[in-house]
Amino acid sequence: MPPTAITNHIRRLRFEHGEMTQQHLADKVGATRQTIIAIESGKYAPSLELAFRIARVFGSGVEDVFVYAL
């Protein structure tokens, strides 16, 4: 399967926020750790709602976390 056209800065943001673990982020946004792993590695493009929830955890806007690569 091709990776999605959406890249993200989640890994960097996690480390900038006290080295937050993937499990901790998953718990905060109501997803599983496997989904966070898939998003970080570009294998899954999250729904708009999940993208907003992730951005809110980092206190950022969606476009600060996710980048549309095309």
Binding site for other proteins (CB under 8 A): 1, 3, 23, 26-27, 30-35, 38, 41-44, 46-47, 50
Minimum distance from CB of 39 to other proteins (Å)? 8
Count of H-run helices and E-run strands, the chain? 5, 2
Minimum distance from CB of 35 to other proteins (Å)? 4
Minimum distance from CB of 31 to other proteins (Å)? 4
3-state secondary structure at position 6: strand
Nearer to other proteins, 13 or 36 (CB): 36
Nearer to other proteins, 47 or 59 (CB): 47
Exposed / middle / buried, residue 23 (Cβ in 10 Å: 0-12, 13-18, 19+): exposed
Report the distance separating Cα 70 and Cα 67, nearest Å. 9
